[in-house]
Structure formats: C-alpha cells, structure tokens
Amino acid sequence: MPPGTSEPHRAGPSPAALQHLDLRNNSLVGLHNVSFQGLGQLESLNLSDNSLMRLKNATLSQLRSLPRLQRISLSRNPWVCDCNIEDMVNWLKESNQVEGKGSLSCSNPEGLLNKPLVKIRSSDLNCSLPVDIQSQLQTSYVFLGIVLALIGAIFLLVLYLNRKGIKNISVATTERVIKLHQNFFKVCI
C-alpha cells in the first residue's frame, strides 16, 4: 500500500454471508418490500414481537427459496385470521422451519381469537366473498371512468345535434343583451 493511503473501511461481512437475522421487536407491520434474495447462507430468522398480521405469498416464496434456512421465529405477532392468511396457514402446516408454530394464534376476528394457526381450516376463514379491497376499488374506478366517458360522449352528441339551436339561442341572447344595454343607456341619459 502506498504511503499516505489507508485501507478502505469494511463494515463487516457481506450480506450474502449473513447466517442469523434478528428482526425481533422492531414494530414491523409487514414485509411487503423486503427481499431475502442473496441471503443464501441465512440459517435463522427472528421476526418475533412485531406487529405482523400475515405473511404474503411473495415473502413465503422467498423464505422457501433460502436453502439453509432452518429456524424461523414468528411468535407474539397479532395474526389476523381472514382470507389473506390462508396461504400462510398452509405454509405453516407443511414447514418444519417455524419454531413453536403450534403456539401461533389468531388475534382477530373475535370468532377465531386464540385459535392456533395450524388448526385453521379454509372453512373457518369464510372466504366466499373477495376481501381484496384494492382490486374492488380498481374495478369501481374503471366502471366510474366508463360511465363518465359515456356521459361525456352523450353530452357532446347532444351539443352536436343541437348546434343550430345553440346558435339561435346565442344570437337571441346577444340581441337581448344589446336591447338591455340600449334601454339602460336611455334611462341614464
């Protein structure tokens, strides 16, 4: 190394070499934009004592793809047992990675309060109605847009068909305004 230069600062091992990831007690409410890709050496993941209500399919797929992951801790999170948790429940039932999975239980709804997640059946979740509010809203916005476009097209068609009538109204209005001005000026003079 040349004189006057220093060795570059190293922050520690690279994330690819990470073996244990402890995210316990971080007030996490979701793992929507979290990526576990590139953590091929990860052996344990602690997500306990957070505010996680469910793990989505994308997260579950990433966890399945980690070849060395042996232990996942999910205890003391307020799991919401609705249709959105069905895939997570199925994953829990087949996974050997989750520590104490029998003690993970529903915090909501009241009808499933304290029921262990691994004992939840699809019929318990009452998934006959769609619960994906965002897709329902998108459908509503599309429908609203179509209705507004039709109303606009009808309005333009009416204007086009009555263009002569509109010209007559415009001329009549202009003549009436001129007469009012003339009468006003006669009174003022």
Q: Spell out the domain ranges in the chain.
A: 15-125, 133-188
Rounded CA-CA distance 76/46 in Å is: 11
pLDDT at residue 11 tops 60? no
CATH H superfamily, domain 15-125:
Ribonuclease Inhibitor (3.80.10.10)
| 3-state DSSP percent of the chain in helix, strand and coil, to 5 | 50, 10, 40
Q: Terminal CA-to-CA distance of the chain, rounded, Å?
A: 101
pLDDT in tens, 88-120: 999 999 988 999 989 999 998 888 989 999 998
Rounded CA-CA distance 140/146 in Å is: 10
pLDDT in tens, 13-65: 667 778 899 999 998 888 876 778 888 888 999 999 999 999 998 888 888 88
Q: How many CB atoms lie within 10 A of CB 118?
A: 16
